[in-house]
Structure 1
Amino acid sequence: MSHLTPQTSSQHHSHAQQNPLSPNSLKHIQPEPITLEDLEKSISNSNSNSISLTPSDSSLPYGSKHQYPTLRKIVHYLEKTQKYTGYLFTTFVGIHISSVIIAPGLGVPLSASQDLFEMGRAIYQQIPGMEFILVTGCSIAHIASGVGKRLIQSYIRNQRRGGAVLKSKLGNNDMPIFDDSERDDIGFGGITGLIGLGYRKSWISRLTPNLTPLTFSGYVLIPVLAYHFIKFRWSPVQVDGDSSLISLQYISHILHFDEVFPKYQKLLNFAGIVLLVWVGSYHMIGGLWKIRRRYSARDKKLGYVIINGLTLLSVISLLRFRRMSLDTGFMAKSFTKYIKHFLW
């Protein structure tokens, strides 16, 4: 029978105390559940350690909010310009779509819709300067102020970072976002936001971190809206000197026109108008929601209802316009000249 000497016993006891895996060091704990929100916050906190600025924020010479007061004041006035020109242009859009989208889409007789169209046109074309202010002037000022604001903000941001690139604390992961519904990069939150599973970063912001869905929709809207203006307003003026012949019949004529691209033009004309309505609705509702600081889940759902509701009404209206009897003779020839005057 072996015996431990006092020295050996003491060494063994000391080794047991130092071993972190010894039975004496283990403790029994109660299991605790973890939610998806806790997991997302944990990942966000762990990734925040990977944020890198060179040099650090605290040592940046441009890190103070009080730097560039003149540029910040210019940004303030550009934001005001963008806000109020957006309000004015939305006023025009509301008058316009009431007769070409909402009324026909809700089943109002097309003759009554034409009367609404004439009333709306009388408001913004017969009052001197009204159309220029509501359409051309507001559009140019809104676009210029938005682009100018982004350029100045990018300059200030780059100076504050000292030319370094800021890595997002969320990286490129696609984890749901629960605690920050005011982020610009989530837009209206996507399908997961509608069903309560958290918002997700828009694919637009994932591809281009400095571009939000609202800004992207504005850039898409510029060429689409310009083409619509040229086809429905500018071309008639260039051909006949005014646009007095334009009516709902002109929309029907465009939807049936296929002399340039016989196989695809009808579909392209139909899809182009639907795209204009969807992108325009998204940009205007998204901008209005941002100005009014409406970021709740309920507001985002309401935004989706309005956007998709207007788009659906536009589809119904276009289908009704396609079934209208086409004008012949002088009117048909005039409409064809308008369409062919610029591109197709």
Structure 2
Amino acid sequence: MSSSSTSSLRTVPPEPITLNDDPIPGIPTSGSPSKPFTLCLIPALKQVQKYSTIPFSIFAILHVSAVVVAPATAGTGIAEELISAGRELYQVSGFEQGLLISTLLHVFSGVALSLLRQYDRYIKYGSRKARVTSTRKKASKFPSSDPNDEIVDDKNEGLGGISSLLGLGSRKSLTYKYLGLSPLSFSGYVLVACLAYHVVKERINPLLVDGDSSMVDLSYVSHAINLDPLKTIVGMSVLVGTSAYHILSGWNRYLKLFTLRARKRTYGLIAILTALAFVSCFEIKKIGPAYGVTAKTFNAYIEAL
């Protein structure tokens, strides 16, 4: 190298290179500003959502046994006795309030979790449309040859759908594909609407008309079924089927029952409860419509709200 070339080289002081801080779509950013926020709130909300299900699950077992299982299997006489015994528990001071609070906590914590996760994905991926792909987990390092032992831990597949039952493998649910909601979350929103309508007709309206709901029994349900069979029977079946799906699927996740065998059993129990609800409606309908003053009172209950 010539001396002239060497003399032309100069020492340049190091300068930091300025980089664009905008996140690249689809690539998580390290040190997300939402991390401390979500680290505190999301685990706490998960615990609230989990343990707030216990009171409603206990209530659902007792109520479904009296109104769904008993009429279809043992007759309306036994069902009335169970309803009367249950009423002593349901309407004890503080029980309804506690049940309502736990249900509201479950709903609001679920909505808050969904919003926080969407916000976290927005911060990390730079787009509200960015979604984290769920991963499948195998049962073990050396999986069983029995396909029923396959574990699919993907909340967006729910119980795997009909394709899972047919041995075609689990697939992303339509609710996730079109609404961005897992089947468990979607069933929860549907259940809230069904329960609100049910509570209005069975509890709030009688309180508005008479100040109590002591007259609400199977004869009231029978009167409603005879007035509008299609609406009432379909509504009751949807309520029971949705409740069974949401509660059983939710407990599957809490208990980590992700095998195909567990999901098949869950589907079977949902189908049995829904079928019992359908049969129960026809058994209750045989009681017949009310007449006279009782009919006027029942009509006022139905029409109040």
Q: Structure 1 length normalisation: TM-score?
A: 0.73
Counterpart check, 1:304 vs 2:304: no
What's the CA shift for 1:329?
A: 2.2
Separation in 2, partners of 1:87, 1:168: 30
SS of equivalent residue, structure 2 residue 52: helix
Which amino acid is 1:195 matched to?
L
How many residue pairs were aligned? 269
Equivalent residue for 1:196? Answer: 167
Aligned ranges for residues 326-337 of structure 1 at < 5 Å?
Answer: 326-337=289-300
Choose 1 or 2 for highest CA Rg: 1
**Would the alpha carbon gap of residues 235 and 61 (structure 1) be closer, same or farther in structure 2, given more than 3 Å must change?**
same
Q: Are 1:54 and 1:164, in contact at CA under 8 Å, matched by a contact in 2?
A: no
Q: Deviations over 1:199-247 (max 9, x none)?
A: 1211111213x31011011111111110000000000001000000111
The whole-number CA distance in structure 2 between the counterparts of 1:117 and 1:164 is 48
Residues 228/164 of structure 1: CA separation in 2 closer, same or farther (3 Å cut): closer
Q: Indicate whether 1:114 and 2:80 are aligned.
A: yes
Cα distance in 2 for residues equivalent to 1:165 and 1:325: 53
Deviations 1:30-70 (A, max 9, x none): xxxxxxxxxxxxxxxxxxxxxxx825636x24459xx5223
Deviations 1:107-150 (CA, angstroms, capped at 9, x unpaired): x131111000010111121x21011112x212211111111111
Going from structure 1 to structure 2, the CA distance change for 1:80 and 1:167 (only over 3 Å counts) comes to closer
- Note the residue ranges of structure 2 that are not aligned, 5 or more in a row: 1-22, 135-148
Per the TM alignment, residue 155 of structure 1 is displaced from its structure 2 partner at its CA by 0.9
- The answer to whether residue 246 in structure 2 is matched with residue 283 in structure 1 is yes
Residue of structure 2 in register with 1:215 after alignment: 185
What is the match of residue 116 of structure 2?
152
Q: Describe the shift of the 1:235–1:298 C-alpha distance in structure 2 as closer, same or farther (beyond 3 A).
A: same
Q: Which amino acid aligns with 1:97?
A: V
Q: Within 5 A, what are the aligned runs for 1:20-35?
A: none
| Structure 1 CA distance for aligned equivalents of residues 76 and 162 of structure 2 | 36
Give the superposition deviation at 1:333.
1.6
1:156 to partner: Cα distance: 1.2
Question: Secondary structure of the equivalent of 1:57?
Answer: coil
Post-superposition CA distance 1:275-314 (Å, at most 9, x none): 1111111111111111111100011001101111100000
Distance 1:324 1:182 in 2: 46
Alignment partners' CA distance in 1, 2:131 and 2:107: 29
Aligned equivalents of 2:66 and 2:130: distance in 1? 48
d(CA) in 2 for partners of 1:289 and 1:93?
A: 16
Q: Counterpart in 1 of 2:257?
A: 294
Deviation at 1:167, TM superposition (A): 6.6
1:78 to 18, 21, 45: 45
Instruction: Show structure 1 runs of 5+ residues with no match.
Output: 1-52, 171-177, 258-264
